[in-house]
Amino acid sequence: MKPLDMVVTPTGLRFMGRKLPCTVGRGGVVAAERKREGDGSTPTGVHRIVGMLYRPDRMARPADWALPIGPSDLWSDDVKDEDYNLMVRAPHPFSHEALRRADPMYDLVLITDWNWPFSVPGRGSAIFMHRWRRPGAPTAGCVALAPQDLLWVAQRLLPQSRLIVPG
């Protein structure tokens, strides 16, 4: 374990001596080798934090290394796309998820290295850390936190910090 590691536990996310309430995928936690696109599960493993995105129209830059989410920023989740599991820009002909959403769920996003940068189609795209919809509400496979906790974490992370999801 490293000082800036975050660990998902059944009772919350452990980070820097705190335990923060969090949620995981609606499919629960699944062994990494069983993770599939669209299964709603959070994969086990040690996932490096490789990026931080934020909505500059809704919040101040949370860290020096955070990048703004623009109006045309998307994330490809289509296994037929050569850019599967990468950030792409609109217009984009393949299935994707908009990073600039009407709701605040992606106002601040921490990107993990799950199935990245050389993705295996169908293995699952984008395991993010983001704001939860509401306390206890599961995600599509990501790890979600209360907005104030997510910001607190983001302000203390460094690139290459890790999210650990035990099996």
CA distance 135 to 133: 7
Residue pair 107/54 in contact (Cβ under 8 Å)? The answer is yes
Chain CA centroid to CA 85, Å: 12
Q: What angle do CA 82, 88, 93 make, to 5 degrees?
A: 65
Q: What angle do CA 137, 80, 164 make, to 5 degrees?
A: 40
Q: What is the phi/psi pair of residue 78, to 5°?
A: -100, 120
Domains of the chain by range and CATH?
Answer: 6-69+100-165 (2.40.440.10)
List per-residue pLDDT tens for the chain, 167 residues long. Answer: 888 999 999 999 999 999 999 999 999 999 999 999 999 999 999 999 999 999 999 999 999 999 999 999 999 999 999 999 999 999 999 999 999 999 999 999 999 999 999 999 999 999 999 999 999 999 999 999 999 999 999 999 988 799 999 99
CA distance 124 to 121: 7
* pTM as predicted: 0.96
